[in-house]
Each structure stands twice: as C-alpha cells, then as structure tokens.
Amino acid sequence: MKLSQLWRSNAEAVICISMLLFLIGTVNIFSASFVEAGQQMGDGYYYLKRHLISFSIGIVAMLVISRIDYHRFNRFLFPFMLLTVGLLIAVHFIGIEVNGARRWLNIGFQFQPSELAKLTGLMITAGFLGPLIDRKRRITLLSAPFYIAAILGMIVLKQPDMGTAVIIVGTSLMLYIIAGLPKQQLLTLVGGGIALFIYATFAASYRAERIAAWINPWDYQLGIGYQTVQGLLAIGSGGFWGTGLGMGSSKFNYLPEAHTDFAFAVLCQEMGFIGALGVLCLMGLLAYYGVRIALKAPDGLGKLLTMGSIFLILGQAIINISMVSGLFPVVGVPLPFISFGGTSLIVNLMAIGLILSVGRQADGVVLQDTAPEPDASRSTRLKLARQARNLNRVK
C-alpha cells in the first residue's frame, strides 16, 4: 500500500498525525509528571488534568481556525500584534518569576505570551510576503515584518528566554528565505546571525556557562551540566525497547523538568529507541504532508502560512531533541505535543488549524482544476472524473 493511500487528503493526514503525537505526549506527560505532581501538588493527576484542559481549548481553536478562510486573518493582524506586545510588556512588570525567568502571566490561569508571539511573527511575515510572491516583487529584509519579529524576539530575550526568541526570529527569517531573499542579504544574514549568537551567548554569564557545559557536560555534572547528564543517562538506559511505561527512574527527582523541556528523555527511557523513532517518523510525516499542502496552496499567503507553521512545529522539535540528546546547549524550548506546556500546546494546535485552513482551499483548487468543460464529451467527462478521484486518493 502506498503512503498516500492511507489518507483521503493531505489535511486529513495532518490532523491524524497531530492527534497521534498528542496521544503519545499525553501518556508520556502523565508518566513523567505523576511523581512530582503527587509530591508537590498532592494530586498525581494535576499536570494531566491541566494538559487535557489546554488540549480542549486548543482543539476548539484549531477547528475554528481550520474552517475560516485564511485570507481573513489579515484583517486582525494589527490588533493581534498590539495584544501580543502588550502582553509581553505586562510580563516584565507583573509576570510570575520561576527559576529566575519572568515569562508567565496569571489571568486566572498561567499564560505564556511568548508562545503567542511565535504565531504573531509568523502571521505578520506571511501576510506581508505572500502578496509580494504573487506579484513577483523584490523581497528584502529591510521591511516591517523583519523589524517586528526582531522587536518581539528582543522583548522575549529580556525575560530571559533565548530559545523562544530564536524561534520567533528564525521563523520569520525562514519565510523570507522561502519567499526568495537575495543571496547577498542571505550571506549578510548568516554573518550577522553568527555574530549575534556569539554576543548573546557571552553577554550573560549563565549562557556562557551553558555553552561550556554543552561542550563537556560531565565536567559540570554536579552543577549546570547536571540536567544534560541526567538526560543522556535516561536516554541511554532505555535501550531498544525501553523500561516500560511508568517504569523509568529518571522522573523520581533525578531529572529536572522531566515533564516539560526534558520530556523526550523520559520517553526514550520508557519507550526506548522504538518509541523515539516513532515520534521522529510522525514528525517527519507531519512535515511531509504539510509541504504537500504548501505546494498546492492557491497563493503565496497560503504557501507561507503553511511552511511557517511547519517550521514553527518542526523547528522546536529539532531544537528540543538536539538539546536533550546533547547536540545543542540547554534552552527553554519544549517538544511540540510531547512536552507539558499549556500555552505551547494551544499555539501548536492553532498552527495546525492554519495548515488545515490552507489545505481545505488547496483541495478545492485541485477539484476545480480537474472539472470538465460544459461542452466536453461523455468519455472526456468520465476520464476527468476518474482523474479527480485518483487525485483525491493521492491527497
């Protein structure tokens, strides 16, 4: 059976794969959090309940967004941007501080505005560049969306949250590259990005220490390298098949942030290489079908919204998995659908909603393109009808 025959459309594939990732993540979050939840909250189901509440909000948002014509979102970009900036500024004054970082607002429940900033930067950049692609206009970094993304990134960097800031700016820049950024500006961008990374790394002492611990975490295993070492030990102890669900030892106060940033380490320990490979394959399939939707999108806006949403999800996945496995320094980037994080889950589901919104119109364009002419012969009509059915099966 061909891979394309598993789904009736690319959009169906995206939603099914997303739900599979959510189910795996829900099992993993409960397993990774019930010890801490029982000890600190007096309820082993505390984090699981919050996770399911966030999913309920996110799935409603996803379904609503998927049913709206994505062109209509441009009308709300400016107030959406003002809301995001206002929330980020509010964090600086009245935000909740946890582990030395001020990233959350309490509005009856804890909310992380920097997650919303990821989606804001994506939509503003796509909304600006999409029409330029359609009109074949020149693309340049010296335009408003780049500055807006940079401002959002700098505000988030002050929280401090370097990982999220990189995702915000990186998503915007990726859309510029997809839209056709000139090579000269691309080279300047690479050089400037390296210089900025070096500056940002050594501008704060704790970041420089993280780099040192990343290069050789074993020399810092009693301090800043402790989390990386424990993550590597958890991954290695899982072996091929894993220790079994709920049987991993790392969550018993050995691995900090076991249910959030380092949830993938717990998954590797309890589900083994097979479980980790399954998650990687699902992420790859999500990207594959997302790209198929982008290629069939009826215009530049649809293409960039889809590619930006895919990059937003897969970019975080690559950074998180690389971080947990020791390939990247430790940064505060969760693994989409697998790590605990209410705002992150809601925003990722909203990004899936954008992909589905574009996918609905992309499917409609294919059907319209395969419609027979009014004066076509009966044999021609039958032939085109068969082609339309085949296309629907491929999608």
- Within 13 A of 297's CA, how many CA atoms are on the CB side? 27
Separation of alpha carbons 221 and 43, rounded Å: 31
Quickly list DSSP for 170-206: HHHHHHHHHHT--HHHHHHHHHHHHHHHHHHHHHSHH
Separation of alpha carbons 347 and 368, rounded Å: 32
DSSP letter at 375 equals T
**Residue 378 pLDDT:** 52
Q: What token pair was written down for 290?
A: 């997302």
Average pLDDT over residues 302-314: 97
Cα-atom radius of gyration of the chain, to the nearest Å? 22
**Residue 384 pLDDT:** 46
pLDDT digits (tens, 9 = 90+) for 41-100: 999 999 999 999 999 999 999 999 999 999 999 898 999 999 999 999 999 888 888 777
Quickly list DSSP for 254-303: TSTTTTTTTHHHHHHHHHHHHHHHHHHHHHHHHHHHHHHHHHH-SSHHHH
Q: Identify the CA nearest to 214 among candidates 332, 318, 333, 329.
A: 329
Quote the pTM value: 0.88
Residue 94 and residue 123 in contact, taking contact as beta carbons nearer than 8 Å = no
pLDDT digits (tens, 9 = 90+) for 175-222: 999 999 998 898 888 888 788 777 777 776 677 777 888 888 888 888
Q: What is the percent of the chain with per-residue pLDDT over 70, rounded to a whole number?
A: 89
**Residue 25 pLDDT:** 97
**Residue 65 pLDDT:** 96
pLDDT digits (tens, 9 = 90+) for 97-148: 877 788 889 877 788 999 999 999 999 999 999 999 999 999 998 899 999 9
Separation of alpha carbons 358 and 352, rounded Å: 10
Q: Which residues pair with 102 in a beta bridge?
A: 97
Taking 50 as the threshold, does the pLDDT of residue 391 lie above it?
Answer: no
pLDDT digits (tens, 9 = 90+) for 145-169: 999 999 999 999 888 888 899 999 9
